[in-house]
Structure 1
Amino acid sequence: MKQSLIALFLLFSTWAAAQTTISGSVVDSETQEGLPGANIIVVGSNTGTAADFDGNFSLTTTAQLPFQLEVSSVGFGSKIIEVTSADQTIQVALSFGQNLQEVVISASRRSEKVQDAPASVSIITSREIRNSANVTDPVRNLVNIPGVQVQQQSANSLNFEMRAGSGVFGTSAFPILDYRYLVTPSAGVFLSYQTGLSNIDIERVEVVRGAASALYGPGVTSGVVHFLSKKPIDYPGTTVEMYGGNLSSFGGALRHAARNENKTFGYKINARYNRGNDFTLDPVEDAAFISTFQNSVRQPAIKNKIVDATQQGATLLNASEMDTDGDGNPMSSEYKNFAVNAHLEFRPNDNTSGVIAGGVNNGSGLFFNSQGVGFTQGSDYWAQARLQKGGLFAQAYYNYNDGGSEDNPTFLYASGFRQVAKRASLEAQLQYNFDTPNFLDSNFTVGTDYRNTSSDSEYTLYGRNDDDDPYVITGVYGQGTSRLGEKIDLTYALRYDKFNFIDKGAIAPRIAMVIKASPKSSFRLSYNVATTGPSALETYIDFPVRTLAPGVLDIWLAGQIDPQNFSPGAGIEITGMNGFTLPYGTPGLPLAIPYGAVAAPTLQGLIAGLNASPQTAGLIPYVQNFFNGYAGPKGLTGSLTPYNLFNQQPMTSLTNTGSAEIGTLSSWELGYKGMLGDKWSLGVDLYTYERKGFTQFTAIGPTYALGGINQIAGDLATAVSTDFAADPIIQAVIAAGTTAAVNAQVQAGVEAQYTANGIPQAIWATGAPANALFPGSPAIPSVADATAATAAGIIPGAIAAATQQLVGGVAQAFTQGGAGYVAAVTPIASVFGTVESDRVPQGDGITHIPAGYRRYGNATRSHWGSDISLRYLASENWTWWGNASWLSQNEWIPGEENDDDLPFSSYLNAPLFKYRLGVNYNADSGFRSSLAFQHDNAFESDQGFFAGTVQKKNLFDLNLGYQFNDGFGLDLSATNLFNQKYRAFPSMPVIGRRVLLKATIDL
């Protein structure tokens, strides 16, 4: 099959005999300097070339004279040139202006005009970056791009997402720098402060919206962001940048580049440093969340290849080292990052270029994932080699992150355990692009990608999976663009990826039609299918993600390499009871449990009280005998309510979760990109998203909250005392003792009365009939008969009183004991028990709340959205702009009308509506400024511990700068100018204003 396709392509690429070669140059109309990389295309075809580093070009085409050339370059307006003869002298001067003919490489992994791209594209230029308020992190330049959601998680920590929804840890977008993937290996997390990006080295940023798995591989479900740095041959020179401001912010960057006289070799060196104080949590509002943090970091003890939470482990950071400012919050309030890299560029001819580069990025800062807040430290090392020769593109790069050390550990605040996070990735791409003019004037791209990720957590993170955690993805792809008519292009692509860790493959197709309604406008209709799978971390993780009570209770996270199941007889394991379980479905707390917890000390006090009185001391053997054979009361008290610990929603059933699968996302998109006159540009995108086979990090088993806790002591006392009072032996002992006591007391009274009345003792025992003592004397009963007659009316009441007294003493004792039990369990009442899955450690005496990645099976979650952008070029320097994004839906709640029949709730974690407005005055010398406004509607989030309502945002960013003629520039910038307090997500740091003064020197 493959050989047949290659033969077919070669057949179609046979050139006709008649060819015309055209030469010329492209210059900047203002400076008359050549424009390297300018794009020259034969109008009505895909035949084209790019200008060399002096702006010169040569183009061979089979088009018949006369024909037209369209000349364009990034940041300049395009021009159409009529070619009437082969020896025609062509010199094109381009002027600055809005340009839909800008050349991008990221939409199709080859050069093409924005207007021709089969996807929605935005470009950020170096001119715009220089005049922005986004000084410390180049990634923040994405904040005003339509369809992009930037999360300012802290002063140092950023994440971004696009159309597929937002996550706090990873991103479904594909961030790359000079074709090199920037997401850290294994974890799938984008740590912007460990990327080494530098504003002064960025030539432009290409943002491609929408699913792009058909070209870039699995996981690219929402878009591509390609940071393209300045090539040393095209941009020689030295630039120094320094800045400082509030939050003790300080940083700087250096870029030095040089080239040889022939412009065939160049090199550059980048260095960057950044430090400061971070935004923090609110000490009052977040007090409960802060209380869940551990105040030390320990090297976990390992037993049977997993973290053994019953052992403390060696302390790496103590409380004072964690809480350096002494405010009671151990979460770090400082960060420090640096990066250095070097690049060698080779360009022996106009058709060949090569790059060898490498560097190290060291970053220490907060990170946020669904499991909580963490702090990472360590160095990220990378090396890259890239070659482009004609249509051939080849590259390989290697990335290694040491994940920190014992002296500088990476850890989660919720567990306090160091995570050894050594990880590496080897990636390689091979691609070939070629034209077939005789087959619908087509252009084809074929290629293959290889990604091999390895990890070593020393059992601290991957646990039982650490010895066997392969993660290799291999893909092949092909894309073609054919001209169906003078104004219609059809793009079609197909990709196949093989995931070795689940031994499955996935196909991602793409088809798009671009209709060029006019030279300045085009419509686009496309259909994409993206594939996605778990990251290596999501696949193999096996560790306690949060310690709720050291050695007693934790949350155990198990990855997707195997299913998480519940055994048929799974019961509710009660926290702190060494594995004791209740039958699943038990609605309340069996009274036998608090009884068992308090019986010994309670009885000790009860016996001491009985022994203190001679009247009750004799009861002690009988009381002891009863309780020695008493297992505790029957019945329940309070309530046991099952819920999801992460989102607090009810969890009334046990649902197994399957192992890793390949998910898919399908999307239709209708788009328009065009110029309205010469100064207005408009972009409109309307898209649908249907996602299947997705997952959510959450609790897999229910956590049980103990409710009605205030009634436990009373219920216990009542139940125990009732059982005590109902015991026949106790009843008999009380009756016998009380009867004897009453009889003795009554007899003593009778005898005293007989003595007082002068009745002879001789007749006490027998009594006497009437007239026996003297005539008319009454009959005298014996003492025994008199005692019995009197006691008969007293004994029942006396028995009842004695019973009440003794039983009341028992009840009082167990009321006090029950109160002690309530005091002991109140701190864990909200996490009183759980149902463990088969993936948590067994038989270790610790209660493990099972967490993992809930699969939604074959359910399909669907929504639609729209991005609209408008730009007005008032002059060469003044630009006014605005954009807005809508979503049809951002939450799916089972039982609601629009739930898409999902088995569990699901959230996009993004606002339904947002918009951006701004104005830029971009001058090459003198004054410059920019003002931007951001509005996000409020929305609901469900991301593990960062669940809840995200408040609406209304933020202003401002930059005021001045460029002096001697290459020196000053900029004063403010993000969140009016200091609106907000959070990216609940329980994240409170973000305020940051003001920085930046100095830039071009030497």
Structure 2
Amino acid sequence: MIKKFLLLAFIAFGSITMVAQTTVTGVVTDAASGETLPGANIKVSRKAVGTTTDFDGAFTLTVTDNPPFTIEISMLGFQTEKVEITKNNQKVEVKLTENATSLDEIVVSASRTPERIMESPVTIERMDTRAIKNTSAPSFYDGLENLKGVDINTNSLTFKSVNTRGFATFSNTRFMQLVDGMDNSSPALNFALGNLLGMSELDVKTVELLPGASSALYGANAFNGIMFMTSKSPFDDQGISLSLKSGLTSQDAAGDNMFYDTSIRMAYAFSNKFAAKATFSYLKGTEWFATDYRNTANGGYTSGDRNSDRNYDGLNVYGDEVSTNLRGVAQTLEGLGIIPNGASALIPNESVSRTGYDERDLMTYEAKSVKFGGSLNYRPFGDDRLEVIWNSKFGVGNTIYQGTNRYNIKDFFMEQHKLEFRGKNFFVRGYMTNEDAGNSYDTRFAAININRSWKDDNTWFGQYVGAYLQGTLGGLNSDQAHAIARQTAETGRLLPGTAGFQSALNKVSSDPDLVTGAKFQDATKYYHADANYNFQDVIDWAEFQVGGSYRLYSLNSNGSIFTDYDGPIEYNEYGVYTQAQKQFLEEDRLKVTASIRYDKAQNFDGNFSPRVSFAYAGGENKNQNFRASFQTGFRNPTTQDQYIGLNAGRGFLVGSAPDNLDRYTTSPLTVSGLGQNFTGSGTISVSGRAAYENAFSATSVEAFAAGQVAAPTNANVSLVKPEKVTAYEVGYRGLVEAGEQRVTVDMSVYYNQYEDFIANKNVVVPFYGDVDLTQTAPVGPGGAQVPLALVALGSGDFTAFQTYTNSAADISSYGATIGLNTSILGGFNLGLNYTYAKFDFDQSTDPDFEAGFNTPEHKVKLQFGKRDLFENFGFNINARWQDEYRWESTFLDATIASRTVLDAQINYRVPKWKSVFKLGGANLTGQEYVSAPGVGAIGSQYYLSWTINN
């Protein structure tokens, strides 16, 4: 309905506004080859009136302006030409000169001002519409992985996490993603869900990516890097475009499954003053099945199953995390008189776990993304001196997110609304981001509570012990007794595929109380405003800019994620910055840029982020650029770092905002019989404050249990504060010529030093006693005074917490990249880049801290192709290799194997249909790989697309 309305509106307004006075016709060609150029933009200077060349390079421009006036002819990859129109029905022939290299393209993000990539003072990667059309990946977002220095970690088919320079996670809060200036991160999760709710491929104009710290201009969280996705303007890119894409995904576990990806874009300029556009995208497919059933019990990661380990805890099996010691159960039953006195001695002193459910039984693996976007653009003066933009984006989808647990993100909804005023030298904008977790749920708790719905844990383990005892007394050996015990305890088990199982899954997945359910409930939002002004038309001795931003968070999970039990939690942060840029020496060959920013968050002290960079353009044509920079970055603790209060199954997560510590208390926890002598109660609840002020470090408790130390140590967890990075970088960009052969070179070397790295620290809180071991009581036959906290550890009266703090460890990272691009064999494009990444961390300085660098040390990427192999036919091939690396996360630590991935595509243009057909595939070798332990293995993906008028 919306699409029909917009189309009718375009026709109606167009018939009213297009009153011809002057007509200009012409042809646009490549100055070097003489070939016509389809898709070139023709517009009246400083106005929105324009058109594009057809597939034969011809155009007709009809305007209401009377001669004389100037038209501009532009196209990506070519230098813009201007032609003076002096009469009606004038015919023009325009020859566009191709940029000498891709380094001549214009970027804005590096310094918040237009400049050639060649002259940028910092490292920058770029993808434009030509590169998007030529990518061999199934989507432009997947194609980002072919850029130098960029990592993409695949969480699922529809959730890819972009990262640069290490310390990657799926919850990548150290990397920002902006879409038309709006932060695209989830308000509650604090990171972008890939492009699940992002931009339509038909609407992407450019993607610019800055690796490394960028806080001096872009504030908090521009820590590892920042990516800018800019959409096409309805003034400049008009018409109706359509993309139809379909194919299949192939995986050993999931088989072959079809996927569909459809997009439409409609844009029209009704006049010099008013334009509008609308985009719609729909994707549906099947996720990569996660079927890694290796055993993770006792912190391991080994092959094995229930037959080899009765305490089995499969990686992609959930519910089997519920485990207990059989003899302890027997002693409890003995004390209650349920089994005879002394019978507990016949029960082995070992732990067993409940039988879990495979992940594939707990979710449908339906991947889906539906996105709608629209904008109304108004230019009061009929030119680009001032433009008012209202932009709205809506998205709903299904995906899989792996954090501490695996989450089935189902019917997740997010919306953004922006009002922006912008001109040549300024912008002022404000926007709101709101989300609804929909029907999302935690698969681990879904399995745990499905198990408990048909038999609670006490009953299950009690039946297990009773059956084992009977089997032993009946003459069975231990293995036989265990088998009959599990069979007995499993009586009544809900089987996947049955109506009873599905009913239980539906019930727990709609219940947000993790004691009984698994629902991920959230309606968090934030409000953001920022502004920038460039004084270039006021001050002539330097380019001077000022700006600032403000953000207000409103956390609203109804107590299911955050401690917002009695209403939304609100807090704010703001920042201001300034930048000066000055050119020196003859022909302005030296450019010096200095920036500084101050940011303040409600719960933390303020931070200054300075940046200084130098760029020198050498060579006759300024094609030899040398650069050096010093910059800083910082990251505010996320909403979860501060206000989370969550039972994650293996422990409790509690944020460290000062007002959060007493707000969170655990569910009632069972106290042993011995412990009741000190607490006077059979259950106890532990506050979040205890995790920070009265807890043992987890590693020292493990050492104490193994008899390696006399007593565990106080964790001494400090409250979290912002983390900082100081970055140094030198680089070179240039054009190297040897005869007629030209090679573009882009290389850089960086070194990062981190301070107060935000970290999770696992701690153990005793139910009674202090961790300084000053509180004692007589215990045992002799009545010896024993520290109560040690009694608690020995009696199992403790619980685990995950706290949010900063590491005191000395952490640094360093690396280098080099990219080479050239044309060979009469026009074939060849690109090669290499990335080296390494970090230094002394584990002994902080034994409980995991750095989680999560990045391969070596990466090599190769591109080979030709847009015009013969008339209307082109192809492109991308190959990537990376070595093995260690992945560390709260889900699991494991080594990720090295891999080689091959993508390729062929395309054919049909000018009379304004169409391009593309046939391609990703991971064509079929060698499946994973980005991290626990995610689905990535198989092959094949696609056929038909794109019209783009």
* Structures share fold, TM-score greater than 0.5: yes
Alignment identity in percent?
20
* Equivalent pair of 1:679/1:874 in contact (CA under 8 Å): no
* Equivalent pair of 2:427/2:531 in contact (CA under 8 Å): yes
Match 2:747 to one of 675, 684, 689: 684
The residue type paired with residue 931 of structure 2 is A
| Residues 132-281 of structure 1 mapped to structure 2, 5 A cutoff | 132-135=135-138, 137-247=139-249, 248-260=257-269, 262-281=271-290
CA distance in 1: counterparts of 2:852 and 2:791, whole angstroms: 27
Are 1:984 and 2:931 matched, yes or no?
A: yes
CA distance in 1: counterparts of 2:736 and 2:552, whole angstroms: 47
* Equivalent pair of 1:563/1:659 in contact (CA under 8 Å): no
* Equivalent pair of 1:892/1:905 in contact (CA under 8 Å): no
| Residues 437-586 of structure 1 mapped to structure 2, 5 A cutoff | 441-463=541-563, 467=567, 469-485=569-585, 486-500=588-602, 502-518=603-619, 519-546=622-649, 554-562=650-658, 577=672, 580=675
| Residues 338-353 of structure 1 mapped to structure 2, 5 A cutoff | 338-347=370-379, 348-353=382-387
CA distance in 2: counterparts of 1:579 and 1:979, whole angstroms: 58
Are 1:855 and 2:864 matched, yes or no?
A: no
Q: CA deviation at 1:529?
A: 0.8
CA distance in 2: counterparts of 1:55 and 1:833, whole angstroms: 81
Are 1:665 and 2:729 matched, yes or no?
A: no
Quickly say closer, same or farther: Cα 1:32–1:478, change in 2 above 3 A: same
Corresponding residue SS for 2:641: helix
The residue type paired with residue 125 of structure 2 is S
Are 1:355 and 2:396 matched, yes or no?
A: no
> Which residue number corresponds to residue 861 of structure 2?
916
The residue type paired with residue 124 of structure 1 is M
* Equivalent pair of 1:105/1:112 in contact (CA under 8 Å): yes
Are 1:937 and 2:883 matched, yes or no?
A: yes
Query: Which residues of structure 1 form unaligned runs of 5+?
Result: 1-24, 40-48, 57-70, 82-88, 297-321, 547-553, 567-572, 584-639, 705-719, 724-831, 837-844
> Which residue number corresponds to residue 950 of structure 1?
896
* Equivalent pair of 1:393/1:432 in contact (CA under 8 Å): yes
Query: Which residues of structure 2 form unaligned runs of 5+?
Result: 1-25, 53-71, 83-91, 250-256, 296-304, 306-312, 322-355, 446-513, 663-667, 679-698, 768-779, 782-789
* Equivalent pair of 1:970/1:999 in contact (CA under 8 Å): yes
Q: CA deviation at 1:370?
A: 3.6
> Which residue number corresponds to residue 401 of structure 1?
435
Corresponding residue SS for 1:366: strand
CA distance in 1: counterparts of 2:108 and 2:927, whole angstroms: 38
The residue type paired with residue 436 of structure 2 is D
Corresponding residue SS for 2:744: strand
Q: CA deviation at 1:280?
A: 1.4
Q: CA deviation at 1:464?
A: 5.8
The residue type paired with residue 653 of structure 2 is L
> Which residue number corresponds to residue 337 of structure 1?
369
Quickly say closer, same or farther: Cα 1:490–1:372, change in 2 above 3 A: same
| Residues 966-977 of structure 1 mapped to structure 2, 5 A cutoff | 966-977=913-924
CA distance in 2: counterparts of 1:493 and 1:933, whole angstroms: 38
Q: CA deviation at 1:167?
A: 1.4
Quickly say closer, same or farther: Cα 1:492–1:967, change in 2 above 3 A: same
Quickly say closer, same or farther: Cα 1:996–1:894, change in 2 above 3 A: same
CA distance in 2: counterparts of 1:579 and 1:480, whole angstroms: 69
* Equivalent pair of 2:577/2:596 in contact (CA under 8 Å): yes
Q: CA deviation at 1:642?
A: 3.2
Corresponding residue SS for 1:996: strand
* Equivalent pair of 1:868/1:885 in contact (CA under 8 Å): yes
CA distance in 2: counterparts of 1:401 and 1:124, whole angstroms: 29
* Equivalent pair of 2:287/2:366 in contact (CA under 8 Å): yes
Q: CA deviation at 1:176?
A: 1.0
Quickly say closer, same or farther: Cα 1:853–1:923, change in 2 above 3 A: farther
> Which residue number corresponds to residue 441 of structure 2?
410
* Equivalent pair of 1:73/1:103 in contact (CA under 8 Å): no
| Residues 34-113 of structure 1 mapped to structure 2, 5 A cutoff | 75-78=76-79, 93-95=96-98, 97-113=100-116
| Residues 774-853 of structure 1 mapped to structure 2, 5 A cutoff | 848-853=799-804
Corresponding residue SS for 2:569: coil
* Equivalent pair of 1:35/1:73 in contact (CA under 8 Å): yes
* Equivalent pair of 1:957/1:975 in contact (CA under 8 Å): yes
The residue type paired with residue 853 of structure 1 is Y
* Equivalent pair of 1:218/1:531 in contact (CA under 8 Å): yes
Quickly say closer, same or farther: Cα 1:466–1:999, change in 2 above 3 A: farther
CA distance in 2: counterparts of 1:335 and 1:193, whole angstroms: 13
* Equivalent pair of 2:149/2:817 in contact (CA under 8 Å): yes
User: For each residue in 1:145-194, what CA deviation from the matched residue of structure 2 results, as whole angstroms up to 9, or x when unmatched?
Assistant: 11111001222221111114211212422211111111111321211253
> Which residue number corresponds to residue 591 of structure 1?
none
* Equivalent pair of 2:266/2:277 in contact (CA under 8 Å): yes
User: For each residue in 1:333-368, what CA deviation from the matched residue of structure 2 results, as whole angstroms up to 9, or x when unmatched?
Assistant: 222221111122234213222321112100111101
Corresponding residue SS for 1:118: coil
> Which residue number corresponds to residue 425 of structure 1?
526
Q: CA deviation at 1:984?
A: 0.6
User: For each residue in 1:840-864, what CA deviation from the matched residue of structure 2 results, as whole angstroms up to 9, or x when unmatched?
Assistant: xxxxx9953111224213x431121
The residue type paired with residue 362 of structure 2 is P
CA distance in 1: counterparts of 2:37 and 2:941, whole angstroms: 41
* Equivalent pair of 2:27/2:36 in contact (CA under 8 Å): no
> Which residue number corresponds to residue 293 of structure 1?
318
* Equivalent pair of 1:38/1:74 in contact (CA under 8 Å): no
* Equivalent pair of 1:563/1:658 in contact (CA under 8 Å): no
Q: CA deviation at 1:565?
A: 9.8
The residue type paired with residue 106 of structure 1 is S
Corresponding residue SS for 2:701: strand
The residue type paired with residue 517 of structure 1 is G
* Equivalent pair of 2:290/2:359 in contact (CA under 8 Å): no
> Which residue number corresponds to residue 865 of structure 1?
815
Quickly say closer, same or farther: Cα 1:641–1:976, change in 2 above 3 A: same
CA distance in 2: counterparts of 1:475 and 1:930, whole angstroms: 44
* Equivalent pair of 2:433/2:526 in contact (CA under 8 Å): yes
Q: CA deviation at 1:509?
A: 0.5
Give the TM-score normalised by the residue count of structure 1.
0.64
Corresponding residue SS for 1:700: strand
Q: CA deviation at 1:698?
A: 4.3
Quickly say closer, same or farther: Cα 1:178–1:942, change in 2 above 3 A: same
Q: CA RMSD in A?
A: 4.0
**Alignment length (residue pairs):** 706
* Equivalent pair of 2:261/2:284 in contact (CA under 8 Å): no
Q: CA deviation at 1:575?
A: 7.4
| Deviates most, 250-259 or 210-219 | 250-259
Q: CA deviation at 1:516?
A: 0.7
The residue type paired with residue 715 of structure 2 is T
> Which residue number corresponds to residue 642 of structure 1?
701
Q: CA deviation at 1:38?
A: 11
The residue type paired with residue 420 of structure 2 is R
User: For each residue in 1:727-780, what CA deviation from the matched residue of structure 2 results, as whole angstroms up to 9, or x when unmatched?
Assistant: xxxxxxxxxxxxxxxxxxxxxxxxxxxxxxxxxxxxxxxxxxxxxxxxxxxxxx
Are 1:894 and 2:843 matched, yes or no?
A: yes
Q: CA deviation at 1:514?
A: 0.6
Quickly say closer, same or farther: Cα 1:539–1:54, change in 2 above 3 A: same
> Which residue number corresponds to residue 697 of structure 1?
760
CA distance in 2: counterparts of 1:894 and 1:32, whole angstroms: 59
| Deviates most, 287-296 or 943-952 | 287-296
The residue type paired with residue 529 of structure 1 is T
Corresponding residue SS for 2:142: helix
* Equivalent pair of 2:701/2:764 in contact (CA under 8 Å): no
The residue type paired with residue 508 of structure 1 is S
Corresponding residue SS for 1:143: helix
Q: CA deviation at 1:108?
A: 1.7
* Equivalent pair of 2:406/2:443 in contact (CA under 8 Å): yes
CA distance in 1: counterparts of 2:239 and 2:266, whole angstroms: 5
